[in-house]
Amino acid sequence: MRSFVLTHVLDFYHQAYSAVTDFFFYRTVLEQPIRRTGLYLVVLTVHVAALFTFIAAWHYGPIFLDVVHWAQQNFPPLEIQEGRLRVGGEHPITKRYPGKESITFVFDTTGTYTDSHHLEDPTILLTEEKVYFHYLGQTQTYLWRNLPFQRLEQVTQLVKWVYFPFAFSSIFVYALCIKVLFATLLVGIGILASAPFGIRLDFPQYFNIALYSLTPAITIGLAVAFVGLGAGYFTFFCVGTAGIYSYLATRNCVAVD
């Protein structure tokens, strides 16, 4: 069993390396069963989810701990009782985290603030019954009674326990869906690439080529995330890379030597 798993893992790395470095490799996956391509997709996505989970923890973990440490020294006394936030002292109270990217915290159980849309971005608004996370123009709202902690000190321990399984599973599902979507869209590029040769492949063949052609783009995306650059700036570059690979790989597969 151990040798079986090791063989398949080594085969995955060989395929991933070849998908980046060798256009002739794509001829070998042309007739590959779609189930094997699906297995490659799942293993690739596991790697992506694991790496992005650890990269995010490495880049943002120290920031989170610094915010928590600052909050313990600057927040008013807080406690959640029967699903309602209790804040010590007079309020509304506004506190601003003075980090590289400042974060505004507003504590209000008086009803002065009913939402966070008119507050500066990014802001965390803590009302009697709800907490609002306002960032990049979007707001996420949670009820205190649905959150599994009662004091600020419990947040750090909670995050340490739930971050890795929650982040990994969320990234895995998202990455898996988005890769299937991108591969399906790249099938159109494969059809365009084979059209001048008067050849029309079957959909599974186009899909095999398209999915493996995502590997170079994913590699670039991981490198960008690792160095801490804004991945959003590279989205079109990565998609373009996948499109170029899909086009050239398809042409290589249908061209007559």
Pairwise pLDDT comparison (187 vs 4), residue with the higher score: 187
For 14, phi then psi, to 5°, come to -65, -45
pLDDT tens-digit readout, 190-229:
999 999 988 889 999 999 999 999 999 898 888 877 776 5
Instruction: Indicate the length of the chain as a whole number.
Output: 257
What is the model's pLDDT at position 59? Answer: 79
CA atoms within 13 A on the CB side of 243: 10
What 3 state SS string does the chain have?
Answer: CHHHHHHHHHHHHHHHHHHHHCCCHHHHCCCCCHHHHHHHHHHHHHHHHHHHHHHHHHHHHHHHHHHHHHHHHHCCCEEEECCEEEECCCCCEEEEECCCCCEEEEECCCCCCCCCCCCCCCEEEECCCEEEEEECCEEEEEEHHHCCCCCCHHHHHHHHHHHHHHHHHHHHHHHHHHHHHHHHHHHHHHHHHHHHHCCCCCHHHHHHHHHHCHHHHHHHHHHHHHCCCCHHHHHHHHHHHHHHHHHHHHHHHHCCC
pLDDT over 70 at 5, yes or no: no
Q: How far apart are CA 203 and CA 162, in angstroms?
A: 40
Amino acid at position 149, single letter: F
For 43, phi then psi, to 5°, come to -65, -40
- Pairing status of strand 84-87 against strand 123-126: unpaired
pLDDT over 70 at 105, yes or no: yes
Q: How far apart are CA 164 and CA 159, in angstroms?
A: 9
pLDDT over 90 at 2, yes or no: no
What is the model's pLDDT at position 21? Answer: 93
pLDDT tens-digit readout, 106-151:
888 887 877 766 777 788 888 888 888 887 677 778 887 777 666 6
What is the model's pLDDT at position 34? Answer: 92
Decide if 155 contacts 149 (C-beta within 8 A).
Answer: yes
Q: How far apart are CA 218 and CA 105, in angstroms?
A: 36
Amino acid at position 142, single letter: Y
CA atoms within 13 A on the CB side of 236: 1
Structure tokens at 98: 């003075």
Q: Which of 196, 162, 183 is nearest to 40 (CA)?
A: 183
What is the model's pLDDT at position 145? Answer: 79
pLDDT over 60 at 231, yes or no: no
Average pLDDT on 35-58 reads: 91
For 145, phi then psi, to 5°, come to -65, -15
Q: What percent of the chain has pLDDT above 90? A: 35
pLDDT over 80 at 169, yes or no: yes
